[in-house]
Amino acid sequence: MLGVQVAVSSNVFAAALELKQRGGGQIVTLNAEMTMAARANPELGAAIAEADLVIPDGAGVVWALGRQGYRVRRSPGIELARQLLVYAAARQWRVALVGASPEVMERLVERLQAEIPQIDLAFAIHGYQDPEQWPGIEQQLQQARPDLVLVALGVPRQETWIQRLHPEQPGLWMGVGGSFDVWSGTKQRAPEWMGRLQIEWLYRLIQEPSRWRRMLALPAFAWEVLRRG
């Protein structure tokens, strides 16, 4: 899609488990905004191109694939990430969480431990560390060799950060955007009916009006898809 390879698997959870068995790798949850950002940011483009599993997270991506004859279901990254957390707890996988504000991370850890009691949180660190702290944090994280690493540092940073750190690592590494904010109860996810109408982006815009400028990427994306036929 617009030069990006997207997995059209009907079961992204199974595809993720299979990737783990093959030795782990990077999972990218692709939406229209990211696709356009990648065209302007070669580092992000490379991280997406080299990812091991790219899943169609946004309605725009599903629509663009549909125009090419691929009927795929939208696979929201937040749902795959949650499924992986539950699976990780059942399998005693070691889980690492990186990103979001200090308050969100604190509430997230409490909530996950209450909601998924078996979870093994080997590493949990917020995303607003002093720049000089990061090299040490990255080293500790790699030494922990987690089985599942969820990273909420925003696009493009989470993707390029994962791309740099995951090689030689056995786990699944996945950028999860605003998922920690939602799981911690700090932000709401759009109601299901909005998801069904493919207007989850509108809900996000109402919650965070400052996103309007970024969202101009959506019509630009649609235009680009139509232009390419």
Query: Judged by CB under 6 A, which of 6, 96, 177, 183 binds ligand UDP?
Result: 177
CA distances to 28, 94, 177, 179 from 101, rounded to whole Å, are 22, 22, 12, 12
Question: Any contact of residue 76 with ligand UDP (CB under 6 A)?
Answer: no
Count residues contacting ligand UDP (CB under 6 A)?
A: 13
Name 107's Cβ contacts closer than 8 Å, sequence gap at least 6: 184, 185, 186
Smallest separation (angstroms) from ligand UDP to the CB of 229: 29
Question: Contact 129/201 with Cβ under 8 angstroms?
Answer: no
Question: Any contact of residue 101 with ligand UDP (CB under 6 A)?
Answer: yes
Cβ distance to ligand UDP smaller for residue 119 or 217: 217
Provide the greatest CA pair distance for the chain: 50
Cβ distance to ligand UDP smaller for residue 72 or 78: 78
Question: Any contact of residue 100 with ligand UDP (CB under 6 A)?
Answer: yes
Query: Judged by CB under 6 A, which of 12, 97, 152, 172 binds ligand UDP?
Result: 152
Question: Any contact of residue 221 with ligand UDP (CB under 6 A)?
Answer: no
Residues that bind ligand UDP (CB under 6 A): 99-101, 127-128, 152-155, 177-178, 180-181
